[in-house]
Structure 1
């Protein structure tokens, strides 16, 4: 871009030199005094022909150009952007005067008007002086190092070594209001003289409770930056805070207010209405909604009631009621918010002539209850399934242990039966190596043991038990028990059950 401008400037200079004719007219300087911040005309005239080139400069700085029968702004210095124009309908009559709008202190200086026609070229210089609309009486000067200033009731003059700044009742352009956890701050910049500042709350509170602290600083032009603060009274949402800046001549009053509203909590998926109501009927206002989460504030929408035009960056997600907003109700409707994208701080700002109203609301969008129940049920199902698997595993392990234990006991019993006795029904049974033969011996405390041979094979079921010879030999020492043994033997011989 800079290269393009440089090329255009070189072409402009070349065009100016090529357009020179043998006749060059230089006119005497003209002196013009302009009033801040009114419009001012820098005079310039030439002998008209069919075509003309016009260039205005301020110490080689391009101010305005006209050629090819139209204005050219490609090389215009940004300081003059949007502030200059020619009287195009009068150019064919030889009028090349420049209209300079909203004259500033920085506009003072020497200007050159260059005109070129087919017959001759011309240069004319205009010395521009600026001053404020101030009273004639000026107080005695006060010296501050290298700079000197004097002041009257309405104006402030600062005489620096290189230039003169004339400050005349610089009006209040805007008032900015901010709020933290402890302080509410109102500020305004580039103001002269220092405005009167007052604070109030709604509902009202004592003036002692909202006593303000004000800081005033000046820049190199003598303009003031004013910052006033009051401490938060009670909870953040208890009051609306209002600050008022009144100019020294009482012709201008700027007000700003801040209200922290109660936090809102809603489930996601359900519509959410964030309230924002102007405290009074406003005319020619604009409404702005912004959203702040973890990053810088982002614009949601902007509405202008003069044109009834809305710029909505959250189209389909948020909207205003077009009928209610005309009455000062700028509440924002979130259609289907979710917890991830729409939880944060919402700021609503009404801006009108010399007034600003700000409402701030923290909104928390929670996960829907149905989703929580589904997650709970899913966790419960998994927990139940895990418990069932654990119980089943425990039962299987227990069964395996029982099977192993039974197998071990069976093996132990098998070893005991092989050549040893088992007591059953008062008889001691013996198994010898012949699986078809069982020895039976009565078992009792203090009784003599006597064995009988019993054939258990299928072909000897009705056989009478008879005492074996070995039993008789073993029972010989026990003669006193012989009668009892004979009784028992008789019972066996009569096939009586044991």
Structure 2
């Protein structure tokens, strides 16, 4: 029995050595697209028997009688079989398409294929949330990617403390949302979010810089927007967010050098934007119409850079409105001064009239006094003259 067992082990060892010599190919298939799993052989006979297995389960067999498919999702290049091409075409790849495949031609294994499935990152976004967090996100990716935050100037990961959430959707693909708190001196930093695919085939970067501007209405305002050094962008888009509603106000295409404006009173210097200066000019902004969050977004290959500026236009008066306002104010001041002068004049006249009346009364009284004195003295003298001489005793 021992010799028999040893013989069996020897045969299995030989088979394992043979299988080790069978080539193994790795293929990365893109989700929802077609994918080719290669298999070639040396044609040496008219009749060919081809079998394909996925995880040891037979999914396709081709014999002289014809072709047999499962679910219509895998195909052979029938016209090229005579040339030794037994490659498998997987139609509309999904998550179930991944795994280990085996190609067998005429009962001999030709190739092992390790198929991975990837839904690549196609878009990445970065923004601030209503609660003041910095949020970076992507969607419809597979497998779940890796996320990393950084800042310029650099801060430690302990200072950033990001929170990342991932979850599958109905198709088995994943969404990614990662957030972190703004720093106390947030206007001094550029926040950088990097999302890398699990297989390392892609790496997307989005960055955000925050700014604030306060200015008076009625005069032109320039909102700065400068691309990072050596940043090659394809488009520049300006948006305005008011009351949680975001609208596109201007777009520039670097390939056509064409600017499209969706709102009046906005201007972009096309000569400067070619050099990376996409600053926006607001012509005589009005507080109620032009205050809000202005965002300029440079988009390049797998890269986005945003500058988000909180613009506050304060109430002011300039131009014709200012002239009319100043004339009204001048008229009011002159009216008040005239009223004050008239009031003082009336008071002065009344005071003068009162003094004149008092003086007249005083003069009349003095005159009456002076008139009364001469009549009293002669009467006294006449009494003395008419008094009898004897009466003195």
TM-score (norm 1): 0.50
RMSD (Å) for aligned C-alpha atoms: 4.2
1:194 and 1:478, CA in 2 relative to 1: closer, same or farther beyond 3 A?
farther
Question: What's 1:263 paired with?
Answer: 213
1:265 and 1:173, CA in 2 relative to 1: closer, same or farther beyond 3 A?
same
Q: Does 1:324 align with 2:324?
A: no
8 Å CA contact 1:347, 1:358 repeated in 2? yes
Task: Measure the CA separation in 1 of the matches of 2:181 and 2:123.
Answer: 22
Consecutive unaligned residues in structure 2, runs of 5 or more: 1-28, 36-71, 74-89, 103-113
Match 1:423 to one of 364, 369, 384: 369
Alignment of 1:369-388 (within 5 A): 375=325, 378-379=328-329, 381-388=331-338
Give the paired residue count.
297
Task: Measure the CA separation in 2 of the matches of 1:131 and 1:360.
Answer: 39
The Cα offsets for residues 293-348 of structure 1, whole Å up to 9 and x where unpaired, read as 44623322111111222211235x22222222223221122344344433332210
Task: Measure the CA separation in 2 of the matches of 1:225 and 1:177.
Answer: 14
1:423 and 1:228, CA in 2 relative to 1: closer, same or farther beyond 3 A?
same
Task: Measure the CA separation in 2 of the matches of 1:364 and 1:190.
Answer: 37
Quote how far apart the aligned CAs of 1:242 are: 0.6
Consecutive unaligned residues in structure 1, runs of 5 or more: 1-33, 41-106, 109-127, 139-152, 156-167, 430-439, 443-448, 452-466, 483-498
Q: Does 1:223 align with 2:173?
A: yes
Higher radius of gyration, 1 or 2:
1
Question: What's 1:112 paired with?
Answer: none
1:406 and 1:251, CA in 2 relative to 1: closer, same or farther beyond 3 A?
same
The Cα offsets for residues 55-93 of structure 1, whole Å up to 9 and x where unpaired, read as xxxxxxxxxxxxxxxxxxxxxxxxxxxxxxxxxxxxxxx
1:322 and 1:405, CA in 2 relative to 1: closer, same or farther beyond 3 A?
closer
1:129 and 1:299, CA in 2 relative to 1: closer, same or farther beyond 3 A?
closer
Quote how far apart the aligned CAs of 1:365 are: 3.8
Question: What's 2:61 paired with?
Answer: none
1:236 and 1:477, CA in 2 relative to 1: closer, same or farther beyond 3 A?
farther
Question: What's 2:263 paired with?
Answer: 314
Indicate the SS of the match to 2:156: coil
Quote how far apart the aligned CAs of 1:172 are: 1.5
1:216 and 1:292, CA in 2 relative to 1: closer, same or farther beyond 3 A?
closer
Question: What's 2:20 paired with?
Answer: none
Quote how far apart the aligned CAs of 1:228 are: 0.8
Higher RCO, Cα 8 Å, sep 6+: 2
Question: What's 1:10 paired with?
Answer: none
8 Å CA contact 2:33, 2:91 repeated in 1? no
Greater per-residue helix proportion: 2
8 Å CA contact 2:234, 2:253 repeated in 1? yes
Task: Measure the CA separation in 2 of the matches of 1:396 and 1:248.
Answer: 94
Task: Measure the CA separation in 2 of the matches of 1:223 and 1:478.
Answer: 153
Match 2:128 to one of 167, 179, 186: 179
Question: What's 1:58 paired with?
Answer: none
1:171 and 1:338, CA in 2 relative to 1: closer, same or farther beyond 3 A?
same
Task: Measure the CA separation in 1 of the matches of 2:385 and 2:175.
Answer: 135
Question: What's 1:272 paired with?
Answer: 221
1:318 and 1:477, CA in 2 relative to 1: closer, same or farther beyond 3 A?
farther
1:385 and 1:295, CA in 2 relative to 1: closer, same or farther beyond 3 A?
farther
Q: Does 1:136 align with 2:100?
A: yes
Question: What's 1:53 paired with?
Answer: none
Task: Measure the CA separation in 2 of the matches of 1:322 and 1:390.
Answer: 59
Task: Measure the CA separation in 2 of the matches of 1:36 and 1:131.
Answer: 5
TM-score (norm 2): 0.62
Quote how far apart the aligned CAs of 1:285 are: 1.2
1:169 and 1:413, CA in 2 relative to 1: closer, same or farther beyond 3 A?
same
Quote how far apart the aligned CAs of 1:195 are: 0.4
8 Å CA contact 1:154, 1:169 repeated in 2? no
Quote how far apart the aligned CAs of 1:395 are: 3.4
Quote how far apart the aligned CAs of 1:350 are: 0.9
Q: Does 1:343 align with 2:272?
A: no
Task: Measure the CA separation in 1 of the matches of 2:242 and 2:385.
Answer: 109
Q: Does 1:190 align with 2:140?
A: yes
Question: What's 1:243 paired with?
Answer: 193
Alignment of 1:349-428 (within 5 A): 349-366=297-314, 367=316, 375=325, 378-379=328-329, 381-396=331-346, 399-400=349-350, 403=353, 422-424=368-370, 428=372
Task: Measure the CA separation in 2 of the matches of 1:250 and 1:375.
Answer: 66
